[in-house]
Every structure is written in C-alpha cells, then in structure tokens.
C-alpha cells in the first residue's frame, strides 16, 4: 500500500469520527488503567458493567487496595481471568501508592513494570490518557492492518512498528481508536462488512466475496 492511499484512508476515518476515544468508561487515568487491565480477553461492555459498580465504591489505588483480592473479586467475577486480574490489580495499587504517589506514571517502562500491564496496556494508557502517538495493537488492529494491507505483519510487534512508521504523523494520536472501531464493527473477523466500509475502495483485501 502506498503513502497516498494510507493518507486518504486516515483522512476519511478522521472525517467520519473527528474525536474518537476508547469505549471503556473512565473518569481518571487510574480508572482507565484498571479498566484496560480488566479488558484483556474481555469485552469493553463487560468491563464497563463491572467497573460501574466497582468505581462507586473504590476508584483510587488506596480504596481498591483496601478491598483486597477477595473484596475486589466480588466486583469483577463476571470478567474472564478475574482471579489473576484481581491479584495483579492489588499489587499494582500497592506499587502506585508506594512508588508513584498514587498516580499513574506517564512512562512506558514504569507502566510495564506494573503487574498486569504489558506493552499493549501501557500503549493504550499513554495514548488515551496522555495523548502520546502510541499504537496498541489488539486482535482488531492486527486483523485490519493485515487484511487491508495498511501494515501487514506476522506478529503484533511487527504490525505496531509498521503502523507507527507508515501512518502520517497528523493522524497518529487517534489512529489506534479508528482502527479498533473499524475492526470491531465493520472489518469483523468472520465476514467483513465490506459493502458498508468507508475505505472499501482503498482496501487491498483480495477476497471481498468470502
């Protein structure tokens, strides 16, 4: 895919949705961090249902840490891998309290040092909360990047590096959200809805009839 075509793709996505954001509900950087940790192998909808109740009771590192693993599990037990996530979140809260004055750091390495926070989660937080031009590649973005040929790659890291390289700078801050939404609602896994896609004529997907 050439530079001109990529620019037109993101121009259209921007025109269609000028101010995209995550579908996770949050009112602070800490709430976002916890929601993103919970969203691993879970839907945003299920996370929002759980956090809507959790955050009414506890929405700071101190408050969630005070709940303990057992107390936290009561709120997140409907989410996959909730046992592991509860353990990681409690540990993360403790580190935030002890090492970061109860604030979420705006630093890739410091974020990735938190239990339950990998490269993707750190990229989401830095992009959504702090406005950095990072690219968090989830299953949707991986699929869209390969299917459209915007940035094909064999693994998540390869796709991430290509997207950062190929996406025009003016679109980078919002590109993560546009590609997720495209993959979640239009360029879906089993049968892409090509007829309703606003970049269909620019896409290099070969088998649009499958």
The DSSP line for 129-175 is TT--------HHHHHHHHHH-SS--SSHHHHHHHHHHHS-GGGHHHH
Closest CA to 71 of 80, 99, 82, 42: 82
The torsion defined by the Cα of 115, 116, 117 and 120, in degrees rounded to 10, comes to 160
Catalytic residue among 77, 120, 165, 207: 120
CA distances from 196 to 36, 99, 187, 199 (A): 29, 49, 10, 9
Catalytic site residue 53? no
Active-site residue, selected from the candidate residues 85, 94, 109, 138: 138
Active site (annotated) includes residue 169: no
Structure token pair of residue 158: 């390869």
- Catalytic site positions: 120, 138
């Amino acid at each position: 895919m050439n530079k001109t075509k990529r620019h037109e793709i993101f121009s259209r996505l921007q025109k269609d949705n000028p101010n995209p954001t995550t579908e996770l509900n949050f009112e602070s950087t800490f709430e976002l961090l916890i929601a993103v940790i919970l969203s691993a192998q879970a839907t945003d909808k299920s996370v929002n249902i759980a956090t809507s109740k959790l955050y009414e009771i506890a929405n700071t590192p101190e408050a969630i840490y005070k709940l303990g693993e057992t107390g936290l599990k009561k709120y997140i037990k409907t989410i996959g891998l909730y046992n592991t996530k509860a353990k990681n979140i409690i540990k993360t809260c403790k580190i935030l309290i002890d090492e970061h004055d109860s604030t979420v750091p705006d630093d890739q390495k410091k974020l990735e040092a938190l239990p339950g926070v990998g490269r993707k989660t750190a990229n989401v937080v830095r992009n959504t909360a702090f406005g950095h031009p990072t690219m968090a590649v989830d299953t949707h973005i991986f699929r869209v990047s390969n299917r459209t040929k915007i940035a094909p790659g064999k693994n998540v890291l390869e796709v991430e590096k290509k997207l950062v390289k190929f996406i025009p700078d003016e679109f980078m801050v919002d590109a993560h959200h546009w590609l997720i939404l495209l993959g979640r609602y239009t360029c879906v896994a089993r049968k892409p809805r090509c007829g309703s896609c606003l970049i269909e004529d620019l896409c290099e997907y070969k088998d649009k009839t499958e």
